[in-house]
Amino acid sequence: CLYFIAPSGHGLKPLDIEFMKRLHEKVNVIPLIAKADTMTPGECQQFKRQIMNEIHEHKIKIYDFPETDDEEEMKMIRRIKDRLPLAVIGSNTIIEVNGKRARGRQYPWGVAEVENGEHCDFTILRNMLIRTHMQDLRDVTNNVHYENYRSR
């Protein structure tokens, strides 16, 4: 479950906490901050810390990355974990940036590119879901969440 959190800057709402608590035993929960382009980088980092503190405080289980002996893979997993919750930007508009076409949002002060790692964590999310952790997400869903559901 990609759980989108509104970029309020004030932490999780009681409804977010309740929903995630009801979901976390049934599905893999991956917390995301929506509309990351509405915050400055500093605000985004502070909000991420606040969200993760509240997730731990309320004992909400989020997707637990697999253990591995591979040093490179562990570095990649640490980089992803350090960025949780991932902050993403959505856009269905193609804009021109420095002579290249990119998906993003045009603002009076500049451009927020969906696939630019300096602007948001979309590429990390995409790679995690499609390339690096797809099989583990499927396995955990089947072997843990589905089996828990079935045994109730």
Query: Residue 54 — very low, low, confident or very high, per pLDDT cuts 50/70/90?
Result: very high
Amino acid 88: pLDDT: 98
Q: For residues 71-95, give the mean pLDDT.
A: 94
Amino acid 61: pLDDT: 96
Residue 146 has pLDDT above 90, yes or no: no
Cβ atoms of 12 and 5 within 8 Å: the answer is: yes
Architecture of domain 2-144: 3-Layer(aba) Sandwich (3.40)
The DSSP call for residue 115 is: T
CB count within 10 Å of CB 36 equals 24
Residue 36 identity:
A
Residue 76, both tokens: 């990649």
Q: Where are the domains of the chain?
A: 2-144
The DSSP call for residue 24 is: T
> pLDDT tens digit string along 5-52?
999 888 999 999 999 999 999 999 999 999 999 999 999 999 999 999
Query: Residue 124 — very low, low, confident or very high, per pLDDT cuts 50/70/90?
Result: very high
In the beta sheet, which residues pair with residue 2?
30
What percent of the chain stands above pLDDT 70?
100
Residue 94 identity:
I
